Structure 1
């Protein structure tokens, strides 16, 4: 067990106070409703505590009549209040019950109203913060874990906030009011009964430690289950192609079993507290019986006192749950705030410029970058890309081509050197304005589980329907879209699974056309297509490239032979640049790649990423 899992209760309160104060800050916009909930909780506690006194007074008023009547059978005593007085006094009992129920309802409603809005705000802020993270963060973190943090941990934190905020005010007041009433009725009886009350703290402290340890394991395994679910659904084609359904089911069953055992540990440690407190309270009742035996107490008074003792049960029970809730919620709160405190590795300067429109000139000056390994992805790269021209990057897999595109998009910052757009260091530009200037079409097209229309419109959210259709026509996608069951309103399925690869690519090109960015990056956009689809997509890409600065990574040399400049890369360095004819004459590497694709006659050439 970790050291933090063995915190005694006073230290736990201090450790929890910091994240709890941070949680309370989310309630500031709703402090009026929050304080209304607290006020109604206080009123509910006071009214609940006074119920014992009301019952006693009503019972005593009736008891006077009964006692006198017992002395003279067949007669009704005239002493004490009349029937109207008895009715009015007795009506106080339902009145107090109604008031207690009303105040309790308003207490729960207002706190729930606040907590649900706090949950919404925490989730929104956490999601927004995750969206601000750099690409290396998402490369490092597991998607299922992040989903668990956003959906599960925030809810646990919010539930704790509501329960603790409500119970920690309402229940102590109910207890203090009830104890005060008992003392007023008979202080000796109350002292005798409540002498064992401090013993109730023992199970709370002992089992609270176990709840935090088990709760931490429970949250960790919940994240693991989310990871398995996300990866299974995302990779269902691979799973089925390898016939690994049973394997994935076994993996999920193991995780579910571990989660079940951790949840049982939490329940076992938290649920045992209340029976132990009840057992301690039962011994208090024994002491009360002994006290009554030795002292002359009327039945009405004894019944009221016992009722008051038992009415302490619910608020004491609720308070006993707070440390358990704190232990469990502290784990979730720490997970949520740990993510919120993570700063993106790529961030805007306070003086970052907003680029309205660029010409498209790109300069890489002595750029070096690695992904945290000893081997540089690109090393001492200098490249000047003129506006309005097409540049192609070729080379073996791992030569650094995709890294160049990532640096232009500023997904990463180079460790050495500088990347400029129109002469401006990318680090001096606001990221959103930089990426508004760049369109990108990759080999792995991503389409949202939405309509074709919305997937194209994602390129420019304020585009009209006519503009979306025009972009689809320019990408040679309009005809196949109209052939779909619902035309532009056809839902494409998860990641566009209802469409062919060529159709997905043409929608991605339409999206880039709609964006109308002056710089276009193409990352092997036709490498996974058949010949017919490649022909259609290539025609769409040529139309997309018109009048733009284009940097393309091509799988097939045939697609980039007409480029204004071909850049040959090897092991992170630029080894040659020039047009196709020039490179055939002066670059052995380029010539070997060309011959491999165009002059092999002994069967199909092996696939080479160029």
Structure 2
């Protein structure tokens, strides 16, 4: 990934990242964090109280043998454990809910930010890498906040308050604890069963969130061509909200063990105190084993261990947070001009005026390209692989902006209009028919959210897709596998064409729409394309000679330049031209034309398609 100077400034040391996280989120959760801090302070205070009360226990119960005070001591111990359990539950659930909301917030920020980035970002970054960064590192923000609160409000206070003493074991006193263990184990087993199903549901929801994000990244050209940004954001928001709710339920189930175990422990310890005290008073037994047993439960080992590992845990969390900020700090490179207006397409004429483009500095993919695609007519772009055909088409919906020259629609420079309004006027069918999570109907409606079911079905009929859709288990409501894996290549492409027809836009872009299909599927898709191309301004890249021959105009490209323009008849008559050589080669019966003289085949080279597919 290419990173700007702002990342080095904002995403740096541990302290800087912590400050940034607190600055961005602390104010929104201050009440919840204050509540959690109070609960943590109560946990520390109740733990310290147990160490403090040992003096009264030893002096009053065993040395002075004051029976009247025993019940007060036992009651106060039980109360301390109940308070500790309730406070532990309160702080754990509060911090978990804040943490889950932080994860949901940053997931939403990430998907919204990814929608704002240009196609070039996804051309430079592997989609799986982006998905991994989101799924594996987004919890780092939550961990930084929670570690900071728990370490200072609980562990440090507890460690300061506690006095560590020597511990010895007493089998008789331990037996009292073992008596109450079976009920606790049964209760924990019951909770674990409920937790297992909740966890499974949570994993499913989170995987759907990840899948939706990954599909969006992989199909970014379709998303932008059909201005699906808001739809994707709303749809993903619902999944994220559901996953957040499931995570909150897991937190409640998990932390339900705290009040249970603490209350039972309070009963056990109170019983131990009563048993040992009366044994000492009436049996003249030394209280050493009892004292050791009580203090063993109050050792400060756990808070000390957590504090010792605080920096390690914070470093790990900050590394995760830093990788999230690397994405969030990526600045969009292709925004609308300050005075950009919505485009008005009247006829749909597309004109290229001395267009030059390269993906990298010094790289030339298009060099001085000039031609006009007449309104309401079909213009075919042909040429060998690497000629710049797909790159040229990608400039029309502004997936990229030309380095030099202009692209005009009805005389208006598209650089001066908003991308959203521009893409609303364009339907796009790519080489790869990207489909998204949801039903067939939902995938078709992405092109135009307000489209009626009748309009969707009419578009499917025009795309020769209606019959096979009805043959699916739930018809138009059939849920699709990942990228439509439960459909054939030809079926996916026909749904892609139907989606373009639902768009009902005056401009249609076809980028090798039949390139990856077998002959039977290609024939079906070709019929659908012929219907889709009627009464629209069409720019089509194709290797099928019959498609090209029926085009109103043919633009022949080679090495990023336009070398011939004309009709099929005119270009065929020029026997020395590149198009005529291709035609002769095709008529000779070969499926593949040589790169230096032919039309190209199913796929463009990296130079021709870079940035158009993530």
Distance 1:337 1:520, change over 3 A: same
Q: 1:20-419 to 2 correspondence within 5 Å?
A: 20-24=18-22, 25-66=24-65, 83-178=67-162, 303=291, 307=295, 311-355=299-343, 359-372=347-360, 374-419=362-407
Shift of 1:299: 7.7
The 4+ residue runs of structure 1 with deviation greater than 6 A are 298-302
Shift of 1:462: 3.0
SS in 2 for 1:311: coil
In structure 2, distance between residues paired with 1:376 and 1:355: 29
Is the 2:162–2:298 Cα contact (8 Å) retained in structure 1?
A: no
Shift of 1:139: 1.8
Q: Which residue is 2:578 aligned to? A: 589
In structure 2, distance between residues paired with 1:168 and 1:432: 49
Shift of 1:306: 9.5
In structure 2, distance between residues paired with 1:157 and 1:85: 49
SS in 2 for 1:349: coil
Ranges in structure 1 where 5+ consecutive residues have no aligned partner: 1-12, 67-80, 183-225, 235-297
- Does 1 or 2 have the higher relative contact order (CA < 8 Å, sep 6+)? 2
Distance 1:523 1:64, change over 3 A: same
Q: Which residue is 1:18 aligned to? A: 16
Larger Rg: 1
Shift of 1:516: 1.1
From 491, 507, 512, the equivalent of 1:503 is 491
Distance 1:498 1:14, change over 3 A: closer
In structure 2, distance between residues paired with 1:604 and 1:171: 73
Shift of 1:380: 0.9
Residues 1:568 and 2:556 are matched in the alignment: yes
Shift of 1:449: 4.9
Shift of 1:592: 1.1
In structure 2, distance between residues paired with 1:97 and 1:449: 49
Cα displacement string for residues 463-490 of structure 1 (whole angstroms, at most 9, x for unaligned residues): 2322211111121211122223332233
Is the 1:409–1:438 Cα contact (8 Å) retained in structure 2?
A: yes
In structure 2, distance between residues paired with 1:14 and 1:532: 57
Q: Which residue is 2:410 aligned to? A: 422
In structure 2, distance between residues paired with 1:482 and 1:331: 50
In structure 1, distance between residues paired with 2:321 and 2:419: 30
SS in 1 for 2:372: strand
From 475, 480, 501, the equivalent of 2:463 is 475
Q: Which residue is 2:199 aligned to? A: none
Shift of 1:114: 0.3
Cα displacement string for residues 52-73 of structure 1 (whole angstroms, at most 9, x for unaligned residues): 112322332213433xxxxxxx
In structure 2, distance between residues paired with 1:305 and 1:17: 42
RMSD: 3.1
SS in 2 for 1:574: strand
Distance 1:553 1:14, change over 3 A: closer
Is the 1:55–1:304 Cα contact (8 Å) retained in structure 2?
A: no
Is the 1:380–1:573 Cα contact (8 Å) retained in structure 2?
A: yes
TM-score w.r.t. the length of structure 2 is 0.70
Q: Which residue is 1:255 aligned to? A: none
SS in 2 for 1:560: helix
In structure 2, distance between residues paired with 1:542 and 1:522: 11
In structure 2, distance between residues paired with 1:123 and 1:414: 33
In structure 2, distance between residues paired with 1:573 and 1:515: 31
Shift of 1:512: 0.5
SS in 1 for 2:427: strand
Shift of 1:305: 13
Cα displacement string for residues 214-249 of structure 1 (whole angstroms, at most 9, x for unaligned residues): xxxxxxxxxxxx9xxx99xx9xxxxxxxxxxxxxxx
Shift of 1:541: 1.5
Is the 1:58–1:90 Cα contact (8 Å) retained in structure 2?
A: no
TM-score w.r.t. the length of structure 1 is 0.71
Q: Which residue is 2:179 aligned to? A: none
Distance 1:497 1:177, change over 3 A: closer
SS in 1 for 2:109: helix
Is the 1:450–1:492 Cα contact (8 Å) retained in structure 2?
A: yes
